[in-house]
């Protein structure tokens, strides 16, 4: 599918919360995306399909979604003034995935990455990871790191594909079930060996899934 990636905007937040809730159902409270968009260290991106114009006319929330949307609206009201753009009923493309990263001095730390459940294993996660690594390179970070649940083999596969290695574990890191976190990191992303492997992984990606319209790093 022809994918595009751009920085997250406030009007994406309700869709991002849907994806976040579906991907991390037991982690509560959810990320405060309104606050994160104002955080100078944080970079959040969204992936959406470009050609198939899959427009959402601001659907009425279902019973299940209502508490999340209400929470999101309350957050918007109390966290910052809404802009007319936020309040418009303009149609928006369907967001297929989102990811976030903090860049602190020379370390880029991936805070989350998730794609819509019904759209998984179609290259969306990989496209977003490519974009995050390129952003980390652009900001001259030395390494990209993250924590992942020890049981989350699917996400670990994705990171291994991009040459992350396990550095260690944090015992009982996740409060809900006391699960360990695996710490994963790249080598120095400016090194010729990382750059070459990254170039090759990207080439394989484009051959398999086609080009990404990357509005973040170009
Ligand atoms: C992890 C996640 C973001 C991957 O997104 P995705 O859009 O499905 O990823 P892609 O289609 O780009 O897959 C890229 C790679 O991930 C791994 N992967 C994806 N789905 C997989 C599956 N069902 N089984 C095994 N590996 C899988 C593979 O290495 C895959 O490469 P391949 O196509 O060569 O096999 C997605 O599964 C998700 O949202 N999970 C819930 C949230 C989560 O766990 N996030 C990570 C927190 S650290």
- Spot the catalytic one: 44, 48, 98, 159: 159
Query: Per residue in 72-99, pLDDT tens?
Result: 544 444 444 333 344 334 567 899 999 9
Q: Is the pLDDT of residue 146 over 90?
A: yes
| 60: confidence class by pLDDT, cuts 50, 70, 90 | low
- Catalytic annotation on 147? yes
How many structural domains compose the chain? 1
For residues 44-60, average pLDDT: 70
Query: Per residue in 86-136, pLDDT tens?
Result: 433 456 789 999 999 999 999 999 999 999 999 999 999 999 999 999 999
Distance in angstroms (rounded) separating the CA atoms of residues 155 and 152: 6
Question: Is 169 a pocket residue for ligand 1 (Cβ < 6 Å)?
Answer: no
- Spot the catalytic one: 107, 147, 179, 187: 147
For residues 49-75, average pLDDT: 53
- Catalytic annotation on 159? yes
Range of the domain at 195: 3-214
Distance in angstroms (rounded) separating the CA atoms of residues 118 and 127: 17
Distance in angstroms (rounded) separating the CA atoms of residues 163 and 198: 8
Q: Give the atom of ligand 1 at the shortest distance from the alpha carbon of 122.
A: 11
Predicted pLDDT at 50: 86
Domain CATH number, residue 155 = 3.40.630.30
Predicted pLDDT at 30: 83
| 56: confidence class by pLDDT, cuts 50, 70, 90 | low
SS3 string, the chain, reads CCEEEEECCHHHHHHHHHHHHHHCCCCCCCCCHHHHHCCCCEEEEEEEECCCCCEECCCCCCCCCHHHHHHHHHHHHHHCCCCHHHHCCCCEECEEEEEEEEEECCEEEEEEEEECHHHCCCCHHHHHHHHHHHHHHHCCCCEEEEEEECCCHHHHHHHHHCCCEEEEEECCCCCCCCCCEEEEECCCCCCHHHHHHHHHHHHHHHHHHCCEEECCCC
| 26: confidence class by pLDDT, cuts 50, 70, 90 | confident
* Across 98-107, 118-127, 164-173, 209-218, least confident range: 209-218
Question: Is 122 a pocket residue for ligand 1 (Cβ < 6 Å)?
Answer: yes
Predicted pLDDT at 63: 52
Q: Is the pLDDT of residue 180 over 50?
A: yes
* Across 9-13, 86-90, 107-111, 178-182, least confident range: 86-90
First to last CA, the chain: 19
Which residue's CA is the closest to the ligand 1 atom numbered 9?
125
Q: Is the pLDDT of residue 54 over 90?
A: no
Q: Give the atom of ligand 1 at the shortest distance from the alpha carbon of 115.
A: 39
């Amino acid at each position: 599918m022809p994918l595009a990636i751009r920085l997250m905007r406030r009007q994406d937040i309700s869709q991002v919360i849907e994806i976040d809730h579906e991907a991390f159902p037991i982690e509560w409270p959810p990320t405060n995306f309104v606050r994160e968009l104002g955080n100078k260290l944080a970079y959040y991106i969204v992936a959406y399909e470009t050609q198939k114009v899959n427009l959402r006319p601001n659907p009425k929330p279902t019973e299940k979604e209502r508490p999340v949307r209400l929470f999101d609206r309350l957050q918007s009201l109390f966290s910052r003034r809404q802009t007319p753009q936020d309040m418009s009923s303009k149609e928006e493309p369907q967001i297929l995935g989102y990811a976030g990263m903090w860049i602190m001095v020379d370390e880029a730390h991936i805070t989350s990455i998730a794609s819509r459940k019904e759209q998984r294993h179609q290259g969306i996660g990989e496209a977003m990871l490519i974009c995050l690594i390129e952003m980390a390179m652009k900001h001259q970070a030395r390494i990209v790191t993250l924590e992942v649940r020890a049981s989350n083999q699917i996400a670990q596969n994705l990171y291994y594909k991009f040459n992350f290695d396990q550095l260690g574990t944090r015992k009982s890191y996740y409060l809900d079930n006391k699960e360990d976190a695996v710490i994963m990191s790249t080598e120095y992303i400016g090194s010729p060996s990382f750059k070459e492997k990254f170039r090759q992984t990207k080439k394989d990606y484009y051959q398999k899934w086609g080009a990404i319209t990357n509005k973040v790093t170009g």
